[in-house]
Amino acid sequence: MAPPNAITVLEHCRVAPPPDSITQTSLPLTIFDLPFLRFPLVQIIYFYEYPHSKTHFLDSVLPKLKHSLSLTLQHFYPLAGNLIWPPESEKPIILYVNGDSVSLTIAESNSDFYHLSGNHARNCNESHSLLPHLPSSETLAPLLALQFTVFPNYGFCIGITIHHVIVDGHSSTMFSKSWASICRSGDSSLSPELLPFYDRTVIKDPEGLEKFFLNKFVKPTESESESVDHRAPSNTVKTTFELSRGDIERLKKWVLTRREKDKQTPPLHLSTLVLTCAYVWVCLIRADVKRKRIQLVFPVDCRARLDPPIPLTYFGNCVLGHRVHTEPCDIMGEDGLVIAVEELNKVIRGLESGIHMSTKKKIPSPSEEMEAPIGIAWSNRYRVYETDFGWGRPTKAELISIEKTGAMSLVESRDGAGGVEIGFALNKQEMEVFASIFTNGLKASKL
Ligand SMILES: CC(C)(COP(=O)(O)OP(=O)(O)OC[C@H]1O[C@@H](n2cnc3c(N)ncnc32)[C@H](O)[C@@H]1OP(=O)(O)O)[C@@H](O)C(=O)NCCC(=O)NCCSC(=O)CC(=O)O
């Protein structure tokens, strides 16, 4: 009998797209992909309640998941391929060759399903056994690996590990939703908003940034290449916090009231995302979490903002990080939230004049600076809780890799009522302080 909290591998196999279903075979890396070449792998877990036996899972769920994965890879062929470094080429390419496939592990866990899929603070290491490995060498890196883990009589989860060089948050969640849609319907066709668009010629490089990125990201020093899959320290815990629609409206009202005093100020973009990021930022600074970490890297999806715009279904990386920073003493004050919102608004207002990739400093090298700023991963507009494979909405959708990137993740709240789930990882003591400031701040009359 397995000891408590054990994971048992039941099967290891490979899943390929249907034979002869792929026509295109390679993709070059664009200037949006290159900065993510050495980035930590993207790790996602979707949990689903499924109160049936292991046999039931293996006989009725597993074959559907596998078959629909194969059909989905026909649309998402790069994920079945590899990142390779052709000897004569300056930069790697993504290549699919007939017969390439994705590694799939089937496992059984006797851990507590609700503990692992809950919002409470949990040691980051507890989720690692639910994620597949994606081993790579100096010349070849597979891009996707999957793991299904069944928790008999409770549920199952789908662990996804993807190389960041092939997906941003929009693309990784689009892949999952496409697969779910095919699994649910049993039909390999996809609706237009889920069909990936691959044409790389739409990404221009008028500033000639490729050479700069090749030097910065493709030829790493030894210490940089080690940073690809580093683990969070063992005392790191991950927590999911929630802001309800009511909380967000209260934050909005607070900002508007404080600003009314100054009639000269321009109108603010007070979206859910801006209020959420600003509130978390203020709480982190007030909790004195890593004094230096006062910068946010605010990612902007460039698809609709390029000139000319490119399809929203463009599959790859198309995100540009914008830095936002302010003095901690400003944010410590009573108007901290207003100041944080205004700083974020400067970025949003700047977007009105289009996307400018000429400032090379906008995308930091992981080795030099990524430890300091707090990134923002995913978005409350991805609708990840619609990733329904046919057995209902996920109990929890979680971006695990934020424990390595130091980002906070944003997801729309599961109940669809307009709230937000915020995930991030900190060491245990810092998390306790942060959690108390976050919760008490919402209760207080003075934010
Ligand atoms: C610049 C932005 C961050 C700004 O976002 P905002 O939410 O503030 O602004 P917005 O214009 O999208 O929306 C503002 C308001 O418009 C309305 N609105 C806009 N779009 C809507 C839609 N599709 N459906 C319904 N309402 C919509 C809402 O009322 C919303 O207010 P309200 O919100 O109050 O309802 C965003 O446009 C953007 O580019 N987001 C993408 C971020 C991103 O790419 N993240 C992924 C990082 S990579 C990653 O994640 C990789 C990884 O690590 O895995």
For residues 144 and 82, is the Cβ–Cβ distance under 8 A?
no
259-290 pLDDT tens trace: 876 667 778 999 999 999 999 999 988 887 65
- Residue keyed to tokens 């990936």: 196
Average pLDDT over residues 350-360: 75
User: In the numeric block, which tokens belong to residue 250?
Assistant: 């209260």
Q: What share of the chain in percent tops pLDDT 90? A: 73
Q: Which residues are catalytic?
A: 164, 388
Query: β-strand 420-427 against 408-412: which pairing, if any?
Result: antiparallel
| 351 Cα nearest atom in ligand 1 | 1
**Which of 68, 57, 194 is CA-nearest to residue 113?**
57
Helix, strand counts (H, E) of the chain: 13, 17
Instruction: In whole angstroms, give the CA distance from residue 412 to residue 419.
Output: 6
* Per-residue model confidence (pLDDT) at position 339: 92
pLDDT digits (tens, 9 = 90+) for 73-84: 999 999 999 999
Q: Is the CB of 427 under 6 A from ligand 1?
A: no
Structure tokens at 369: 């600076």
pLDDT in tens, 16-41: 999 989 987 899 999 999 999 989 99
pLDDT higher for 102 or 138? 102
Give 312-328 pLDDT, tens digit per residue.
Answer: 999 999 999 998 988 77
Residue 146 · residue 79 · CB < 8 Å: no
| Of residues 258, 287, 276, the one with CA closest to residue 379 | 276
Classify burial at 233, counting beta carbons within 10 Å of its beta carbon; exposed 0-12, middle 13-18, buried 19 or more.
Answer: exposed
- Per the listing, tokens 């390439």 go with 100
Residue 222 C-alpha to ligand 1 middle, in angstroms?
Answer: 37
CA dist 235 and 222 (Å) reads: 27
Best residue among 273, 306, 346, 403 to mutate for probing ligand 1's pocket (most ligand atoms within 8 Å of CB) is 273
Secondary structure (3-state) at 139: coil
Phi, psi of 58 (to 5 degrees): -70, -35
Looking at ligand 1, which residue's alpha carbon is closest to its atom 14?
Answer: 271
The CA 301 to ligand 1 mean position distance, Å, reads 8
CATH superfamily for 236-442 is Chloramphenicol acetyltransferase-like domain (3.30.559.10)
Distances (CA, A) of 412 to 292, 383, 386: 29, 6, 10
Residue nearest to atom 25 of ligand 1 (CA): 381
Nearest protein CA to atom 45 of ligand 1, as residue: 378
Please report the atom of ligand 1 found closest to the CA of residue 44.
54
Q: Span 168-187, mean pLDDT?
A: 98
- In this predicted structure, what is the pLDDT of residue 125? 93
pLDDT tens-place string over residues 328-347: 777 888 889 999 999 999 99
184-189 contacts, C-beta under 8 A, 24 or more apart? 184/388, 184/389, 184/390, 186/64, 186/68, 188/71, 188/72, 188/74
Domain 7-218: which topology?
Chloramphenicol Acetyltransferase (3.30.559)
In the reported structure, the alpha carbon of residue 273 is separated from the centroid of ligand 1 by a whole-number distance in angstroms of 7
CA 93 to CA 74: how far, in whole Å?
Answer: 19
In 3D, which of 218, 223, 32 has the Cα closest to residue 141?
A: 218
Query: What is the residue-wise DSSP string for 90-126?
Result: SS-EEE--TT--EEEEEEEE-S-HHHHTSSS-EEGGG
Tell me the DSSP string of 184-218: HH------GGGS-B--GGGS--TT-HHHHHIIIII
Say if ligand 1 is within 6 A of residue 168 CB: yes
Instruction: Name the residue of 381, 402, 411 whose CB sits within 8 Å of the most ligand 1 atoms, as the mutation to test its pocket.
Output: 381
- The answer to whether 179 and 69 are in contact (CB under 8 A) is yes
Q: Read off the amino acid at residue 391.
A: W
Q: Given the CA of residue 317, which atom of ligand 1 is nearest to it?
A: 48
| 444 Cα to the center of ligand 1, angstroms | 28
Cα–Cα distance, 32 to 373 (Å, whole number): 19
pTM of the entire structure? 0.94
- Ligand 1 atom nearest the C-alpha of 376 is 47
Indicate whether this complex's ipTM tops 0.90: yes
Residues of the chain with CATH 3.30.559.10: 7-218, 236-442
Q: What are the residues whose beta carbons fall under 8 Å from the beta carbon of 59, sequence distance 6 or more? A: none
Q: What is the mean pLDDT of the chain?
A: 90
Residue range 169-186: mean pLDDT, rounded = 98
pLDDT confidence bin for 2, thresholds 50/70/90: confident
